[in-house]
Structures are given as C-alpha cells and as structure tokens.
Amino acid sequence: MEQNEQATRLWGGRFSSGPSPEMTALSLSVHFDWRLAKYDLQGSRAHARVLANAGLLDDDELDKMLAALDELEKDVESGSFQGTEADEDVHTALERGLIERLGTLGGKLRAGRSRNDQVATDLRLYLRDNVRTIVAALIELQKSLLAKAEEYRDVVAPGMTHLQHAQPILFSHQLLAHVHAFARDVDRLRDWDRRAAVSPLGAGALAGSSLALDPVAVAQDLGFDRPADNSIDAVSDRDYVAEFLFAAALIGVHLSRIGEEVVLWTTTEFGWVTLHDSWATGSSIMPQKKNPDIGELARGKSGRFIGNLMSLLTTLKALPLAYDRDLQEDKECTFDSVEQLQMLLPAVSGMIATMKVNADNVSRGAGAGHALATDIAEWLVRQGVPFREAHEVSGAAVRECDERGCELYDLSAADLAAVDARLTPDVLDVLTVDGALASRSTHGGTAPSAVLTQIENIKSALAEQSAWLAPSG
C-alpha cells in the first residue's frame, strides 16, 4: 500500500515514509477539487504543446500525449475514471490516469510546471467559464423582470421609503429598479473577467522555469489575454477569487432584496402578487398555506455568499509570499458560491416570470398615506414659494387631514385655502395620482413616458450583455 501511494504522489523522494493517516486526511482535496479536472486537462494539453515547441517532446510523443489526455477526459466525463483518496488532489489523480495510459511518457508532462501554477490556472479557467453561466442567468432574470414590467406597465403603486407610503409610482418602475441592480452585477463580472484573464501557467512553484517554455503561447492557447508578469504573484494571487466572491455576495444581496419584496407582496395584508403553484410550497399541517420559499431562500442564501467572501479574506490576510497550503481553502467557498448562484438565479427568474400581479390591490393605496404631500410642496415652489415654506404649508395640510381622518385629495379648494391662502384652487390639479405620475417625466422618473424610455434602454443594454456571451470569431 505504501509503495502504491508513493507511486501516486507527486512528491516523496526525500521522505523515508508516507504521511500519517491524519496528515493524509488533512491534505485531501480531491473530493472537492475534482470539479477542476476538465480545466486541469485543458491546461495539460496547452503545456504539452509548449513542451513540444521547446524540444522536450518529439512529434510522436506529443501526439500520444494529446490522444491520451483526450481519452482521459472522456473517462472523467463518463465517470469511469475518478480520483481516489490515495491521489490527494485532482492533479495527482490525473497524472496517475495519464501514466496508466502512457507509462513513463506520462511522467514527462510534469516538466516545467508545479501544482502551484497548475491550480492557479485551473481555478481561473473554472471561474471564467462559470461566470459566463452566471451572467447568462442574470440576463434571464433581467428579462423576466422586464417582461413583467411591460405586462403591468401602467399599474400604479404606492412608492415606499421606510416601508411607509411616500409617493405614487408605477409598479413597473419598481420592478425595473431591480433590473438595474442585476445589470450592474453583469457589468461587475465582465469587468472582473478582464482582470482574471491572466495565465499563471509557466510560473512553476514560484520562480518560473529554466526550460525554454513559452508562457505567452500557453496563455493564448487557454484563452487568456496575457501571461502573468511576476511568477511569485502568479501563484500566490487570489484577488480574482476574492473579487468574484464579492461580486457573488452582492448578487446575493440583490436577490435577497427582491426576495424580501416578493415575500411582502404575497402576504394577505399586501395581496399584490400571487405566485404560480409550481414556484411555491405548502404546509404539512395548514392546508391553506402557499409559501414564497424561493424569496425566503434568496434572503437566506445571501448570508452564505457573504460568509464565503469573509472566509476567503480571512484566509488571505497576512499570508506570506509565495504559495502556502492555506490556499487550499480558496476552493470550497468558491465552488459553493458558484453552484448556489447557478441554482438560485433560475429559481428567482422562474418565480418572477410566472407570478400574477393583482393590479387592483397594488393600485388601491397609491395615493393613500398623504402620498401627494410632496406634489403640493412642489406646486407651491412653481408659484415662487421657497421650498422651506412650501414644506411647512404642505405639512399643515397633512395635519388637517390627520385631524379629519381623510386624505389630501379629499380636501376641497376651500379647505386648502383655509390652511394657507397660497393654496389656490389650481393646486387641485396636482392632487391626483395620475397627475403626480405624469409630472415626474425627467430622465429616470416614474412618469409613463420616462418608464417607456427606460424599457427601451434596458432592451438595448440586454442585447449588449448577451453579445458579450457570444463566442468571438
């Protein structure tokens, strides 16, 4: 057994015995870093080609090497070849698989590279690949919100601050506010990709290689923009992981916010939204229940995304250069955030796409809670009254309504004039929900005309986001 383990390990020549069982258990990562197998094989093909260009593999050896790597990848995909506990990590397992197929020729692939630059390359490839699936899911979520906004474009709603009625808005305007948050998430990931498109392969353990390898060619082969400029930084940098985890945490926060709103909107007290049966759950004891579980899980998982970010930042703090085994801890939090987003985003998108908006319930309170008070103040400003005074006058009108138990739009021209002589009958023109909406027609406002412009701009932005995902050439 010890002899087999020695043959499997990528190190051990200077050791007289194998690691203790406790050491082996602590070092083991193949059970989670097996996700990198596809990318490790991709890097191995590129490395084989530069070894051949450097004269370290002849043409026949290169052909056999590439064929064996292709065969190994098929076996990995089918599950007929898997890593084992004896392999320690994905790199060791795949070298074992290559040697099983090629014999001693398989051992030549290790020349000029280390697990340090291998894993840094694999993780970048993994993230750049999976970020594109996350961006695609974010685009679909934006499309779901946009479609719902168009379907209910003219539905009026009470806009809220502090969860108190503030000013009338279009419900579509609120849905589109979430689109802009997710659009920023896409922009952030695209910007992240520009910095992540750097190849560490060729850095070796930390100092580069004395072999005549070509990091530029490897970078181009693997779809990176350029090779790393400093071999120490190449193997120790995990900024790209931390930055991704921050982007993932912020996506989680945005999902949590819309999840919370859906939870509120589906309550009996709000009654704004009804979820489709296939995107809700029931109760094991209360037959009437229809629970917004997706919204609740979106809230709950935000803590998980934030925790993954904090975990990595804490690990990275005060690590000396270059590579340290602490960096083994960068993967599980990364894999978790990637996989949770890939599961959560389509669920939230489906929930939004299929929910029914109960327009009458949404619109019922649009002008309630003295939501037109700002319109009185701004009307006075247009008459030349300083806003400080206009605010006081409008507040006095609100106080009058509180004493009477009515809304601002219930006051007559005489009632308003009694509050302040500057409130002439013309002020009644702004004491309607439709009037309040129409007046907010500046860029980004909630007026129907402004929302229509916003919708067209979002469609253009979505087309540009989708174009980024399209393969080049």
Q: Domain 116-363: state its class.
A: mainly alpha
What is the distance between the alpha carbons of residues 206 and 249, in angstroms, rounded to a whole number?
A: 31
Neighbour count for residue 387 (Cβ, 10 Å): 12
Per-residue pLDDT, 473 = 42
**Equal fold, 116-363 vs 373-431:** no
More confident call, 388 vs 30: 388
Q: Which of 27, 276, 283, 412 is catalytic?
A: 283
**CA dihedral angle for residue 356, residue 357, residue 359, residue 363, rounded to 10 degrees:** 160
pLDDT tens digits for 46-84? 999 999 999 999 999 999 999 999 999 999 999 999 999
Can you say whether the dihedral through the CA atoms of 460, 465, 470, 473 is positive or negative? positive
Residue type, 1: M
Question: CA 244 → CA 117, 193, 380, distances in Å?
Answer: 19, 9, 49
Per-residue pLDDT, 16 = 64
pLDDT at 44 over 80: yes
Residue with tokens 């029931």: 282
Q: Is 283 a catalytic residue?
A: yes
The CATH number for 373-431, chosen from 3.50.50.60, 1.10.40.30, 1.10.10.10, 1.20.210.10, is 1.10.40.30
- The neighbouring-strand residues paired with 198 are 226
Residue type, 264: L
- Would you place residue 8 in the very low, low, confident or very high pLDDT band (cuts 50, 70, 90)? low
Q: Which of 162, 284, 443, 460 is catalytic?
A: 162
Q: What are the sequence ranges of the domains in the chain?
A: 2-111, 116-363, 373-431
Q: Is 31 a catalytic residue?
A: no
Q: Which residues, 6+ apart, have CB-to-CB distance to 283 below 8 Å?
A: 289, 291
Which token pair is 64? 């056999």
- Provide the pairing of β-strand 156-161 with 273-274: unpaired
pLDDT tens digits for 157-212? 999 999 999 999 999 999 999 999 999 999 999 999 999 999 999 999 999 999 99
Q: Would you tell me the crossing angle of helices 387-404 and 373-382 to the nearest 10 degrees?
A: 140
Superfamily of domain covering 2-111: Fumarase/aspartase (N-terminal domain) (1.10.275.10)
Per-residue pLDDT, 26 = 80
pLDDT at 2 over 80: no
